[in-house]
């Protein structure tokens, strides 16, 4: 019934957009834009309603990815052969597919489906799914995940966030999901038509604290009842599965698995200055009833570690985007001439570019150190905090200097540094909402 109603409404809207009346009233362009938006949201609603998650009962106990049997005694930054191959492929994809689509995606406030489909062919999510459930993962690969995030963000941070929102959910289910959750949800991501998923942690409140959540999970006789609002959730309207953080009275913060078609789950556009391609949305939970089994993990779940992985994910996005800024301003300043010579010959310009490289390398090393400890099963809370603090501060500085180096052109949309500046502003604000 919902599908038929959506189709009739879209048909009427489309007919009006092509009519002479629309021209006479000068409403053709607004109506065409409305048709595009309604079509996108209409098909999203149909897709969410049609997905049914079913337990395949392959596992008898949760499957956890192992840490390396012999953790290295030294912090080694050298890439393995597999990591180098992955980086080569993803770098090419970022340069040839993501970067050319970035400007249009920013204007449309959406990542093209063709880009998402091509990204899915890389199978990044499969590297976090155990072999028993159709994936290819054997050991934890936090460092490899960081490298992938960095390479995708070098193309565009907003599109990268769209691609990685699903991967983040897969990582969380693999890390903490219990037997029932892995059989029911994690296995679905190993199929051909993988669901879109996302994580909702941030809330529209001043000085947001992820440990002082306004979203609540009230215990009932059959499970929990969720109420609250989440903000800046990537790919929300497309998501069939959402991990939501909420405060349980007497227990503190927890994470819950929400299916997108449940009663009481609402999605609104959450317009933002940056990350427009990631289609940020506002999740509204109104008495959403879920069973006890929807609470992520068991007694081994650690909310602090969940947030630590999110911080590393945002650090990876910051590093990749800052690298794009550095690469761009080096070329620009070598080609841009003033008073008969390239502006890179000016000491002030050269020093500013050198400082970008210094700060970028510090961001990269501190973040890789945290990922290395996480991958080897060591406590990485301190390293994740330091990485997030450094990347939040320095990425904004690098974005500002990138615009400054391009001069007046950097303030216009003629050059991508303007978009990168807006995207990088999100790092210090949203670094609790993505899982690596």
Domains for the chain: give ranges and CATH numbers: 81-194 (1.10.540.10), 199-294 (2.40.110.10), 303-430 (1.20.140.10)
Nearest one of 166, 137, 146 to 308, comparing CA atoms: 146
Give the model's pLDDT for residue 341.
92
DSSP 137: B
Other beta carbons less than 10 A from residue 252's beta carbon: 11
State how beta strands 281-291 and 223-233 pair.
antiparallel
Give the list of residues 6+ apart from residue 214 with CB closer than 8 angstroms, or none: 203, 205, 228, 229, 247
Alpha-carbon span 45 to 388, nearest angstrom: 36
For 100, the 3-state DSSP assignment is helix
Query: For residues 411 and 417, what is the distance between their CA atoms, to the nearest angstrom?
Result: 8
Predicted model pTM: 0.85
Rounded-to-10 torsion of CA 408, 411, 412, 416: 110
Q: Please, what is the Cα angle at 237 between 232 and 242, to 5 degrees? A: 70
How many helices (H) and strands (E) the chain has is answered by: 14, 9
Contact 405, 352 (CB under 8 A): yes
pLDDT per residue rounded down to tens, the chain (436 residues) = 344 444 455 455 555 555 666 565 556 556 555 544 544 444 444 444 445 666 665 766 676 676 766 666 667 788 888 889 999 999 999 999 999 999 999 999 999 999 999 998 888 888 888 888 877 776 778 999 999 999 999 999 999 999 999 999 999 999 999 989 988 898 888 888 889 999 999 999 888 999 999 999 999 999 999 999 999 999 999 999 999 999 999 899 999 999 988 999 999 999 899 999 999 999 999 999 999 999 998 888 999 999 999 999 999 999 999 999 999 999 999 999 888 899 999 999 999 999 999 999 999 999 999 999 999 889 999 999 999 999 999 999 999 999 999 987 777 778 999 999 999 999 988 876 555 5
Beta bridge partners of 130: 137
Find the Cα–Cα–Cα–Cα dihedral 378, 383, 388, 391, rounded to 10°.
-120
Residue 207: its pLDDT value, please? 85
pLDDT at 13: 53
Q: Distance (Å, rounded) from C-alpha 318 to C-alpha 106?
A: 18
Distance CA 367, CA 232 (A): 24
Residue 339 and residue 345: Cα distance in Å, rounded? 11
pLDDT at position 26 is 59
Burial class from Cβ neighbours inside 10 Å (0-12, 13-18, 19+) for residue 394 reads buried
């Amino acid at each position: 019934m919902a599908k038929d109603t959506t189709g009739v409404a879209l048909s009427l809207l489309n007919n009006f957009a092509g009519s002479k009346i629309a021209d006479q009233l000068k409403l053709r362009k607004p109506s065409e834009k409305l048709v595009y938006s309604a079509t996108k949201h209409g098909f999203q609603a149909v897709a969410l309603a049609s997905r049914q998650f079913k337990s395949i009962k392959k596992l008898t106990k949760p499957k956890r990815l192992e840490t390396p049997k012999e953790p290295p005694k030294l912090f080694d930054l050298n890439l393995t052969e597999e990591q180098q191959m992955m980086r080569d492929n993803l770098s090419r994809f970022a340069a040839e597919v993501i970067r050319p689509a970035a400007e249009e995606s920013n204007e449309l406030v959406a990542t093209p489906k063709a880009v998402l489909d091509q990204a899915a062919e890389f199978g990044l999510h499969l590297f976090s799914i155990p072999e028993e459930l159709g994936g290819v993962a054997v050991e934890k690969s936090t460092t490899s995940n960081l490298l992938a995030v960095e390479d995708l963000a070098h193309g565009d941070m907003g599109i990268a966030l769209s691609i990685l929102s699903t991967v983040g959910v897969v990582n969380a289910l693999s890390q903490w999901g219990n037997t029932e959750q892995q059989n029911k949800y994690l296995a679905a991501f190993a199929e051909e038509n993988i669901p879109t998923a996302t994580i909702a942690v941030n809330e529209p409140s001043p000085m947001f604290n992820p440990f002082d959540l306004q979203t609540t999970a009230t215990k009932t006789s059959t499970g929990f009842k969720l109420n609250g609002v989440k903000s800046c959730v990537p790919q929300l309207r497309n998501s069939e599965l959402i991990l939501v953080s909420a405060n349980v009275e007497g227990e503190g913060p927890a994470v819950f698995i929400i299916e997108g078609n449940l009663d009481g789950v609402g999605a609104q556009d959450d317009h933002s200055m940056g990350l427009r391609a990631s289609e940020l949305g506002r999740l509204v939970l109104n008495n959403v009833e879920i069973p006890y089994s929807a609470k992520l993990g068991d007694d081994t779940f650690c909310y602090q570690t969940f947030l630590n992985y999110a911080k590393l994910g945002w650090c990876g996005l910051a590093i990749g985007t800052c690298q794009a800024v550095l690469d761009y301003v080096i070329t620009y300043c070598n080609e841009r001439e003033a008073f008969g010579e390239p502006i890179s010959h000016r000491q002030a310009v050269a020093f500013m570019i050198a400082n970008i490289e210094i700060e970028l390398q510090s961001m990269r090393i501190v973040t890789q150190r945290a990922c290395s400890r996480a991958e080897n099963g060591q406590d990485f809370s301190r390293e994740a905090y330091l990485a997030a603090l450094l990347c939040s501060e320095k990425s904004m500085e690098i974005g500002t200097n990138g615009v400054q180096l391009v001069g007046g052109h950097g303030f216009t949309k003629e050059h991508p540094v303007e978009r990168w500046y807006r995207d990088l502003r999100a790092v210090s604000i949203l670094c609790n909402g993505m899982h690596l």
